């Protein structure tokens, strides 16, 4: 099937998932939508995020006839993935969630940190996930208000310097609040990145926390699950691998320059693959 796979996030963070998807599925076409006009989702109400998720799914199905949808946003997954599955039972749907269970297998000290948006850590879905692993390790959960927004702003030329300073400040503040990191017996040795935006500050975290701390994200796991679901639905494209200019369409409801800069910086994609769409997203 030559129809594209839809991928969306509240902003540019989902590009980290798109990067993993492109690597795992080089034969496929993708349409990515950054809802940057309404970013970050993590500091919006659950009702608002659910409504936006429904609107975006409807838009991508109507305008691009997507054959699968990847909700590349932890907050949107927590707020709306169950409703989407009920509404579109035949559509392969993949969400993201903080990698708590994989972290159990990696941690040697049994002390695991989780950083995510307020919307993610405050959701019922995250509460159930955390409850499912309680007693198997000591989890330190930190909501990182403002961090996803600062990462969004770091791609805008006129805000990049101030945004980078804010990123450094927030990372230092939040990691200090979590306690000791390292390989010591009571130190946090594994940090779960519970927001797709945070993948793009891995280098900053590495400089802050040192090389003994393992950083866990979800992009590769999401790509594997997408591949499994499409294979089960006989929906994989078996044509030759595609060039990025053939396989990628990047959309934003917000600042076009921001998406173009992010796509170039993190995926090496040319700006002409990006386009702005109305924030209302008519189906």
Q: d(Cα 268, Cα 215) in Å, to the nearest integer?
A: 23
Catalytic residues: 73, 195
Per the CB < 8 A criterion, the answer to whether 273 and 244 are in contact is yes
Spatial strand order in the sheet of 93-94: 93-94, 68-71, 5-9, 30-34, 248-252, 274-276
Cα 117 → chain centroid: 11
Report whether 15 contacts 32 (CB < 8 A). Answer: yes
Listed residue (117, 177, 115, 114) closest to 145, CA to CA: 117
Task: Measure the CA–CA gap between 121 and 136, rounded to whole angstroms.
Answer: 19
């Amino acid at each position: 099937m030559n129809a594209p796979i839809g991928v969306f996030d509240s902003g540019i963070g989902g590009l980290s998932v798109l990067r993993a998807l492109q690597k795992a599925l080089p034969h496929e076409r993708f349409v990515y939508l950054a809802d940057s006009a309404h970013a970050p989702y993590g500091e919006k109400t659950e009702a608002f995020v659910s409504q936006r998720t429904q609107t975006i799914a409807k838009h991508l199905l109507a305008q691009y006839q997507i054959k699968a949808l990847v909700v590349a946003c932890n907050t949107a997954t927590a707020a709306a993935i169950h409703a989407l599955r009920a509404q579109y039972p035949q559509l392969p749907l993949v969400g993201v969630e903080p990698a708590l269970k994989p972290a159990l297998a990696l941690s040697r000290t049994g002390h695991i940190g989780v950083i995510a948006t307020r919307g993610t850590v405050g959701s019922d879905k995250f509460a159930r996930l955390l409850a499912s692993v309680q007693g198997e390790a000591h989890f330190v959960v930190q909501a990182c208000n403002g961090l996803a927004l600062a990462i969004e702003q770091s791609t805008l030329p006129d805000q990049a310097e101030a945004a980078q300073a804010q990123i450094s400040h927030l990372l230092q503040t939040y990691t200090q609040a979590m306690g000791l990191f390292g390989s010591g017996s009571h130190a946090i040795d594994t940090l779960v990145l519970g927001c797709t935006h945070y993948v793009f500050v891995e280098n900053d975290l590495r400089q802050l926390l040192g090389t003994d701390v393992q950083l866990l994200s979800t992009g590769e796991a999401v790509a594997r699950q997408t591949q499994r679901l499409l294979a089960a639905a006989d929906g994989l494209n078996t044509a030759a691998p595609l060039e990025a200019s053939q396989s990628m369409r990047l959309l934003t409801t917000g600042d076009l320059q921001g998406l173009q800069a992010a796509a170039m910086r993190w995926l090496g994609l040319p700006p002409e693959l990006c386009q702005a769409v109305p924030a209302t997203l008519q189906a």
